[in-house]
Amino acid sequence: MKLLKLVPADTNIKFLRLRVPFFVVSMLLIIASWALVLTQGLNYGVDFAGGQEVQLTFEELEEAPIGDLRDKVAALGYGSPVVQEFGAPNAVSIRVSLPEEAEGQPGAAAEIGSEVIETISSEFPNVRTDGNNTVGGKVAEEFQTSAILALGLAMLGVALYIWIRFEWQFGVGALFALFHDVSLTLGMFSLFRLEFSLQIIAAILALIGYSLNDTIVVYDRIRENLKKYRKMQLPELLDLSVNETLARTVMTSLTLLVAMLPLLFFGPASLFGLVAAITAGLFFGTYSSVYLASPILIWLGVTSDSFVPQETEADRQEKKAREAARGTP
């Protein structure tokens, strides 16, 4: 049986020749992302911002048409609603997020609730309204601080480990690549006004993990080659390392991509943001380990000496003594 070979053996692509233009573009994209996030903000979903909750009972039905309701309410344009069966099979609770101008305005919020009720009762006339209330966000105020603290400590731990196993430059490179990936993902969410929910936090954590994994695989090969080819120029050595791991990079990215694409195209609408973030992160992460994490090592001055035990004064004395002993028969 002939097996599939996605990447021909012995590629020799000069990836790093374009490191400066790519780096400049990446920096611009990071800046643009943060500019978007800071000026336009993120489109926070009902998890974060709270919203309006409507409770309905479908008196003539055995079971509430939950999927149908989700689509209808989503079409009103208040983000993706949370629709739950509520106590009985024919009773539902619907939570929608409020547009910014309606927040803190009880009248406007109740009106949006009424709009939801009217939309539904135009199709199901025998629907009974059990409640129309403003609800707070699901996320406690201290969630944000605890999430940032946890993430900060996690990054510190990661950098420390990479420093111990590699060199400090590698730790800086890995963190910078992560920063790039997270920034661009946030920028993408802000640009396309995708709803930022609790799921997206999970997606960002997953893409951080993927990006780290990818960066360390490339770094591992760089470390190996630094020990092997003492005299090679660094840019050349980085190109060699990236080329040697290229087959793996392509294969791993492809397997994750084929796992994500069905979810992206055929998965439920409520998972779209999560899957989109992970898929985008896949591209950002692969790109950043080649074009950001690697060239940074050149600029931070990694040399092949980093991984070779330094000759100490004691070693030199010993060597001298040995040579002297050999000299006298």
Partner 1 sequence: MLEVPLWKRLMLWGITIAAFAAAIPSLLSTAGVEIPDDIAAPSVNLGLDLAGGSHLLLEAKEEDIAAQKLQNIEENARQAMRNAEPRIRIGDVSTANDQLSFMLDNVADIDRARGELEPLMQGPNLTREWDLSFVDTQRIVLSPTSGSVSQSVDDAMEAAVKVIRDRIDALGTREPTIIRQGDTRIVVQVPGIEDPQALKDLVGKTAKLEFKLVDDSALPTQVQAGIAPPGSQIYPFAEGTDQAGTFIAVERLGGIRGDSLTTARAGVDSRNNEDIVSITFDSQGGQKFAKLSTENVGKNFAIILDDKVISAPVFNEPILGGSAQISGSFDADSANELAIQLTSGALPVDLTVVEERSVSAELGEESIRSGMLAMLIGSLAVITLMIATYGRFGIYATIALIFNVGGLLGLMAIGNFTLTLPGIAGFVLTVGAAVDANVLIYERIREERKRGRKVIAAVENGYKEAARAIYDANITNLIAGALLFAFGSGPVKGFAVVLVIGLVTSVFTALWLTSMWVADYIRKSRPTDLTI
Contact positions with partner 1 (CB under 8 A) in 108-167? 133-143, 146-147, 149-151, 153-155, 157-158, 161-162, 165
Q: Does 53 bind partner 1 (CB under 8 A)?
A: yes
Nearer Cβ to partner 1 (132/190):
132
- Per-residue x/- mask for partner 1, residues 5 to 44, rule CB under 8 A? xx--x-----------------------------------
Restricted to residues 84-113, the positions that interact with partner 1 (CB under 8 A) are 84-87, 93
CB of 209 to partner 1, least distance (A): 5
Nearer Cβ to partner 1 (43/249):
249
Euclidean distance between CA atoms 264 and 193, whole angstroms: 17
CB of 240 to partner 1, least distance (A): 12
Q: How many residues form the binding site for partner 1 (CB under 8 A)?
A: 84
Among positions 217, 232, 240, 300, the unique one binding partner 1 when judged by CB under 8 A: 217
CB of 329 to partner 1, least distance (A): 42
CB of 317 to partner 1, least distance (A): 33
CB 19 within 8 A of CB 238: no
Nearer Cβ to partner 1 (96/278):
278
- Per-residue x/- mask for partner 1, residues 236 to 265, rule CB under 8 A? --------xx-xx--xx-xxx-xxxxxx-x
